[in-house]
Amino acid sequence: MIAKKMYIGGAWTDAASGKTFETLNPSTNEPFGTVPLAGSEDIDKAVAAARAAFPVWSSKTQAERSAVLNRISAAIRENAEEFAMLGAKEHGMPAKLGFGPTMGASGNFEMAATYARATGGDFIHSSKPNVLYCLDRVPIGVCALIIPWNLPLFLMSQKIALSISTGNTCVVKPPSVNSVIGLRLAEVIDGVEGLPKGVVNVITGPGSSVGHALAAHPGVDCVGFTGSTETGVSIMEAAAPTLKKVVMELGGKNPAIIFPDANLDQALESLGHHQFFNCGQACGSPGRYYVHESVFDAFLEKLLACAKHQIVGDPTLPETTMGPMVSVEHANKVMSYIESGVSEGAKLVYGGRRALDKGNFIEPTIFTDVTPSMKIYREEIFGPVAVLLKWKDEDAVIDLANDNTYGLTASIWTTNIARALKLGRRLTVGTFSVNGHNLIAPEAPWGGVRQSGIGKEGGWQGVLEYTEQKMITINLDEE
């Protein structure tokens, strides 16, 4: 079993209480790693370390900071195979698929290093003849970064890169179930030349205690969080008394609208991948399929073929395409959604059962005859469960797509690009794609509206989220 320590002020440390907790291998639910269980003393120590490092790091030139980020990017690439296998064993993503998000983690640092070099201020023309106005971009201070468990390395690297690129320091709480992955990234970062001690601190423990305490801590200036909408509300409540800035990417129930003229093979190549990739444990996964009645049967046939093609099994094996759900608790939650779909009258056309004799494996699952009143239609399942509805009226399907509390992403599938763009403007989402699903990369901003979040992650806009605007006024009178 792997044993790790927390990373505070550039040093490796146990919890002040001496307490630890275990992470599990989701394929077997057997112990995988042991990590410290942080308490209030550890949180205070990590925030203090970040606060002490802030003047040093923020006073560096942007060129110096970007050079450090590029070295972190290179170090992640050098350890990519190890990270992919670690993700298979502690998270459950097949190693051959985990290599992509690992390289994306490297790309996050590279992107932030590049965009931060271009981040500057503005000159404002004044109505006063002898006054000069300048609007600068400055770092916020200490950022608490609370990471979700579904893509731990990628999202941890994204938040660290965006926050420290412009001079902030941070305290990072990796997801409890993936804590070994988070602390291994800390080890890689620690080995990079030029990063002052305390710029990045990594502490481990439950979100309900450590995450909440970080959000409420008076020494923290900004909170970056990705996770469920319910937890996001709790984080905002904790941050509210000190009026911290929050950057949040939350849940989604994402519509995919299939028109009669859509290229179904192209659609299924993308949608099928996103539906079952990482067992559907992704905020941007297709949540609701609206398929025109004239092509519904053909689309369903191709989606069934995609589901049957999935190989559920040991994520360390090269043939596996779907590993286990991340935990017993989450597997049980997904199964409860499947059971509710059946009990509410949806037609289970494929899957819907546990797979294998041990671990948290669930079959790829497809429902039809779904209605908007059903739980599987309205709520985010976060699992390998596809929910299909027929439609025939263009205006009605847009209204259905918008009839949800979320607003993360959507896709429209048609050869009529003008129609897609016109209808896409009517979708209440942060991102919509035409003939593709989540066509994003590190340089592309990502984030939702409504209960899907606040602000953007990724790209230049993501870098700006971790800065404040400072107004500078200069009196040019010589007298």
At residue 111, the pLDDT reads 96
Q: Which of 375, 392, 364 is nearest to 288 (CA)?
A: 375
Residue 479 pLDDT grade (very low, low, confident, very high; cuts 50, 70, 90) = low
What residues form DSSP beta bridges with 34? 3, 22
Catalytic residue among 90, 110, 249, 457: 249
The model's pTM is 0.96
CB atoms within 10 A of CB 366: 23
SS3 366: strand
Q: If you average pLDDT over every residue of the chain, what do you get?
A: 96
Q: From CA 74, how far away is CA 72, in angstroms rounded?
A: 5
At residue 478, does pLDDT exceed 80?
Answer: no
At residue 59, does pLDDT exceed 70?
Answer: yes
Residue 120 pLDDT grade (very low, low, confident, very high; cuts 50, 70, 90) = confident
Q: What percent of the chain has pLDDT over 70?
A: 100
- Over residues 337-365, the mean pLDDT reads 97
Distances, alpha carbon 144 to alpha carbons 1, 104, 241, in Å: 29, 22, 16
To the query of whether residue 143 is one of the catalytic residues in this protein, the response is no
What domains appear along the chain, each with residue ranges and CATH number? 2-250+452-471 (3.40.605.10), 254-442 (3.40.309.10)
At residue 396, does pLDDT exceed 70?
Answer: yes
At residue 469, the pLDDT reads 95
Q: From CA 138, how far away is CA 205, in angstroms rounded?
A: 31
Q: From CA 189, how far away is CA 76, in angstroms rounded?
A: 9
What residues form DSSP beta bridges with 142? 169
- Over residues 273-299, the mean pLDDT reads 96
Q: From CA 256, how far away is CA 388, in angstroms rounded?
A: 10
**Cα torsion angle, 449, 454, 458, 464, sign:** positive
Q: Which of 153-162, 303-312, 376-385, 435-444 has the lowest mean pLDDT?
A: 435-444
To the query of whether residue 283 is one of the catalytic residues in this protein, the response is yes
Catalytic residue among 283, 306, 363, 380: 283
- Over residues 194-198, the mean pLDDT reads 98
At residue 153, does pLDDT exceed 70?
Answer: yes
**Terminal C-alpha separation, the chain:** 73
- Over residues 237-261, the mean pLDDT reads 97
Higher-scoring residue by pLDDT: 91, 479 = 91
**Cα torsion angle, 436, 440, 444, 448, sign:** positive
pLDDT tens sequence across 411-422: 999 999 999 999
* Residue type at 306 in one-letter notation: C
- Over residues 193-219, the mean pLDDT reads 97
